[in-house]
Structure formats: C-alpha cells, structure tokens
Amino acid sequence: MYTDRNRSRSGRRPVPRGRYQPRRPLPRPAEPDGTATEVTPNPVADRRRRRWKTVRRVLYVLSGLFFLVPAVAFVITYFAVDVPSPDTVAQSQGQAVTYLYADGTEMGKDVPAGGNRQILSPAQIPDVVKKAVIATEDASFETNSGFDLSGIARAAYNQVTGGSGGGSTISQQYIKNASGDDAPTLTRKWVELAKSFKMNQTYEKADIITAYLNIIYFGRGAYGVQAAAQAYFGKDAAQLNYSEAALLAGLIQQPGRSENATVARDRWGTALDRMQRNGYLTAADRKAAKFPTPVPLVESRQGTKLNPFVKKQVKAELAAAGIPEDRYYSGGFQVFTTIDSKAQEAAEKAVAEGMAGQTDDRILDALVAVDPKTGGVLAYYGGAPIVKGPNGEDQAGRDWADEAHNPGSSMKPFDLTAFLKGGRGLNAVFDGRSPRTFPDVPLPVRNAGTSSSCSEQCTVAEAMQRSTNTVFYDMVLNVTKPGGVAEAAQEAGIRTKDTGGRSVLFTGDNNISIGGGQTAVTPADMAAAYATFAAGGVQHGRHFVQKVTNSQGETAYEADTRATDAFADNDRGKSRQIAGNVTAALAPVIPFSRLTCPPGHECAGKTGTQQHTPGDDEPASAANTNSQTWMVGYTPSVSAAVWVGGDGDKDLRGPSGQPLTPSLVAGPVWQRFMQLYLAGKPAERFDRVQAITSPQDDQLQVQLQQQQQQQFQQQQQQEQRFTIGRGGDQNQQQQQQNRVRRDGRGPGRGNGNDTGQANFGP
C-alpha cells in the first residue's frame, strides 16, 4: 500500500519498478459539440517518427562534415603550399638526357633546343599569343578562380563514360608542369587545386598566363613560347602572327606529334576555331588564315653525335611507359639503351661497304639487329640522318628501318609457321611447277625463275630452299588461309597498326603468302620476328631501353622482359618444335643463296624480292626489275634484317644496269654484318627438335618413294639394255646411279629427316 510519501511532487504515485504501466491516452481536441475524445496510441507510428528523427540528425551531421571538413582541409592545404615561380621551374626543365650503350659507355646527349631560353615579361608576349592559348586551353581563364567546376565535372563524366578531354585550367596545367607530377591520384589533384586557387589569389591574370607560357612544352625540345617561336619559325615570340600563334597553341596538347603534318594542321584548325568562337578572331581572318609551315627540323643541331633514329625510338618507348615528351627533359635522365656499340659499328660499316659503288641514287637501305634472348635492339641503322632537300638544303632523313615495305619471299617463313601449327610438316608435297592457275585468281602465279621452280611433287622443305611461289601460294590459299599467316607473323613479333606498330598484314587476298599486294613489314619488325625463331619459339618484346635513372640515380623506368610461348599458348615444347622446324627449313637457304654463315656459327635465313610494276610510260624491260630486296637471317644469338629498296615502287638497278636483287646488296651486307659482329664470339649451334609430320604426309611420302624406286629401277633396266647392246663401259651403270643420287631423282633424295630430327644441314 502506497503512502503519501510515495507520491511525487506532482501528486502522482510513482511507477513501481519492474512493472509496465501503459501510457494514458492523450486527450483529443474537443468535438464541435464540446465533448472531448481520447487518442488511441500507435506504437508503430511512434517508432517510425523516432527513426526518421534519428536519420535526419545523422544527415545533418554528415552534410556538415561533407562541406566543413573539406573546407577546413582546403584552407590548411592552401596555407601549407607554395606556388613555384617560372624561374624556379626553368632550372628543372631543359636538362640534357644522356644516352648510354648497353655496356654503360656514353652514346651521346640529347640537348633540348630551348635549354638556354629566355623568361619573357608580360609585355614581351603579344596579346595574340595569349588569346590563342587561352581560347585553346582554358576559355574561362579570365573568370575562373584557378579551377573550373564544370570542367572538373566534365572530366569526371568522361572518365566514367570512356570519353576524352580533361578539366584542367591554365593555372592547373602550370602547377602540374611546375611540379612534374602527373600521377592520377586524388592527393595530387587536391594539392593541385589548392595551389591553383592560391596562384589566382596571389597573382594577376596577366602574370599567370605569362608564367604558363614561359614553362609549357611545345615540342621540338622547346620549353616556353620564346624557344618555341625560334624552334618552329626562327623568330622571336614578339613577331608571331595569329596563324603562327594558333599552331603553337594547338601543339600544347600533342607536342610529341609536332612533326606529324596531319596532326599539326588539325590542331592549328582547332585553335583558330576556338579563337573565333571566343571573339578573339573575326570570321574573315579565320577564313583567310593560311597554315604556317614550320622551318625544317634539322637533327644536326644537337651538340653531340647521337643517332636521331635511335633517339626517336627511345622517346616513343618512354612515352608509352609514362615518361612523355613534356617530362623527358625535366628529370636529368640517363637512358641505358640495349644498343651494342660493336653491333652498331658493324652495322654502319657493313652498309657502307655494301653500298659502295652503287650508282642508282634512289637506292635506300636499313639494318636492324635484335637479341633473340632478350628482344633488345642491338643495332639500328635507318639510313642517312641528314639528307639534301630539293633545293640542296639540309633536312632530316627518314627512318627507313621503321617504314613498312613489301617483304616478298621473306614472308614465307610465316606461311610455314602457320602450316606447322596445323600439324603438317616439311615433308608435305605440293605442285611446284610454274605457272599455275588457281580458282577465282585472275592471273597465273609464277615462280621467280628456273632455280625457283620445283617438280609436281615438291616437298615444303625443298620449296623453301628454292623459294617456290606456287607452293606457298597454294599452301596459304587452300590450307592455312591468309588469316593464319597474319596470326603467325604477329605471334612472332610483327606489330601492326592495331597493336602500336607500322606493319600491315593484309588478309583480304592471298598476296600475303608471297609478301606482295598490301602486305608491308618494317625491317625492325622482321628482325624481331625472326629472332623468335632463333630463340626456339620464345618471343620477347622488341625494345630499345633497358632502364632509365633520374638525376638522383633512382630507377624511373625498367623494361619488361617477360617472354611468351609464341606459337603455342602455355606449351613451350610445342612452340620450340615449330620454331625448330622453321629453322630446319631456312638453314639450307643460306648456301642456296650463295651466302655463308659466320665461322663457327650455324645460321638460317630467307631472302625476299618484290618485283617492280611498270607504269604506262615505262619500257617493257622495266617489268624485269625489282623495287624491294631483303635478307633476314639469324644465329642463336643475333637476328638481323637488311632491307635495300626504294621509296615506293621504283625500278632499281645495280652499277651495270642489272636489276637490284638480294644477292647484289642486301645479302652481302647481312653476311658482312654477321661476320663483323660475331667475330671472336663463342661458336654456337641450333637446338635439334623432332620433325613435325602428319599421317597424310607420311603416307604420301611412302607412295612417292615407291614411285621413285620404280622409276629408278626402270631407268636402270633401260641403261643395262643400252649398255649391253653397245658393249660399252661396264662402269657406266654405277656412274649413272651415282649421278641420279646426286641430282635428287633417286632413292637417296629423301626429305632430309631420315633421323627423325629436323635437319639443319644444307
């Protein structure tokens, strides 16, 4: 029983502990008649209200944190960072890049053209240049605070949707280039935004655009607009007109492609269009604009001797690895190349000796050597780096080692590779006579000459040695198909335009089988692809750079030398067997082509020729000339491709007016290079592998041998009757038998694989 002491101050009795007391219903408002009603409690609605009340409070807190925390962090970052001046940035840019041979000795230095550039004041840069860059790079420059929210959103959208285009303002680009940090991280972007904002709070817009134009990279080794004006137009920045300014502004986005005429003209047009859209250029001036052709790029401006074609390949390789052109001169880099000084010297000497005495000035040449064990380029000769222009002026030469040419018969090893991948072997038989017609092929296919023709029952091994066109055309048309050849070539290491290369493997017709038509391959690709045969079917990516170190000696890049099983995924033994059979077929080609291997070294290879197609205005004799010639061959330690030909389809001739052939220049140059480079190196030989055969080819070989035996016996019987009838020399029968075996018509012919292994002998 409760007493008064148990009552609360309000006069209510306290609720006993442990006993649930339901809440008293709340009174409802009075009804119209004045009576009052009670509200029935709803526990579910009460819980829902309490839950939403909690959610709202959490959202309020999160919203505050979302805006407050970043704001506080941004303020802290703002006061913690500094904006580097153009003079400070200039000290870190324009550093020479040192190139080293594979053994660590210096090859040369790449000194940027703008290394001694002048930092200009706002008054020294004409308004037309500033407006061209603002319109092209950051249309909201005059009004933004260092970053553009709409641009950032647009960049984020492009990242998500796979589109292109960034959201960086001129201030952000300045900070990024000044720091040299382009890492795709949130931390870097956050600091960049803070610095960009601080820059716009600290400096006038005129000073910001001037600072930007003093450090930005324009290509041709030129940092800053003054160096760019000199590099492209041979004048000061103050003398640039609106058309020249538009070209420089357009090249900021793609400085590494400044020498690509199509890209340069496209970027120039984009800059002019944006200048007009922003009101900096009238429609009349836009229509009247003429492309300002830059002065020729002359590589001889370098202070030290450096192979410009090697430099071009190295820069492209580094750009793909994350060291683009705008960072190339800013790290004090040392580039350890794969170039072997002895191999490079041997290549240049062999070419010079081979070209001596040639009178046709249209003949061009290239030589590339690759290490089969690593994929590293040992020697790279793309032709003369400086050539005479139409008016006798010096101009940069073309890198013929990186230009695609019809490979001719040097393509046939890839026909054979595809054939071997399908399980067929060197003892397979085709009709090697000439000419031959094929269904749906408008013209007959012919062999190159009498020595290239074969019998009606010609083995693949003999067809490779003789380079019999009709056999390989038949093989690809009816067995492997053009796609199979293209696949084998790419597996070996040929890079097409779809895979970052310049070669073309055209499968729209069967001309790929004999290396003609639209199929074209670079000498660099050919050397790398044959290196895969030399390595026993192991493919290493062709590369020029071992590693790169910065000014502190830290490794900035290191080549990926992982290997793949070229011709059989995850089956090194099968890939090795295929490559070994190709080598077995190519080894006899060397003596057949009147070439020799370096002393103590086994070698294999293939020549190639592309015939000239005469024009209507040429004499009929032009049909017997050639436009491209090749010799590609290898030992286990080096693969070398030599191309000697013309710029396009030219009727090239030797000193005596004879058609240009592989035996005239390409073959002797290859042989001389191999002799020079391998002189004094340990002897080497290829691994022996099991010959690839198929039941259908084995059965056919048995039938052929039986036919040959019968023919031989019949011939013997005829010889005996003739000899007995004449009473002649009793030794004539044995002499005839020996002669038959020597010329390959008797049972001694075989297929060169009687031991069950691929035969590497001639």
Question: Where in the sequence numbering do the catalytic residues fall?
Answer: 137, 409
Identity at 6, one-letter amino acid code? N
Sorted by sequence, the CB contacts under 8 Å of residue 611 that are 6+ apart come out as 623, 625, 626, 627
- Apex 11 CA angle, 10 and 13, nearest 5: 110
Sorted by sequence, the CB contacts under 8 Å of residue 343 that are 6+ apart come out as 369, 378, 379, 638, 677
Q: CA dist 645 to 257, 338, 457, 519, 611, Å? A: 27, 27, 34, 16, 11
Dig out the tokens for 502 from the structure: 């310049």
φ and ψ at residue 40, rounded to 5 degrees: -80, 125
3-state secondary structure of 641: strand
Q: CA dist 574 to 111, 569, 636, 704, 747, Å? A: 48, 9, 18, 28, 31
Number of alpha carbons in the 13 Å side-chain half-sphere of residue 701? 21
CB 328 within 8 A of CB 95: no
Query: Which neighbouring-strand residues pair with 503?
Result: 496
Torsion sign across C-alpha atoms 742, 747, 748, 753: positive
Q: Residue 105: how many CB atoms within 10 A of its CB?
A: 8
Q: How many angstroms separate the CA atoms of 619 and 363, rounded?
A: 20
Torsion sign across C-alpha atoms 79, 80, 83, 88: positive
Rg for the chain, CA atoms, rounded: 38
Identity at 699, one-letter amino acid code? Q
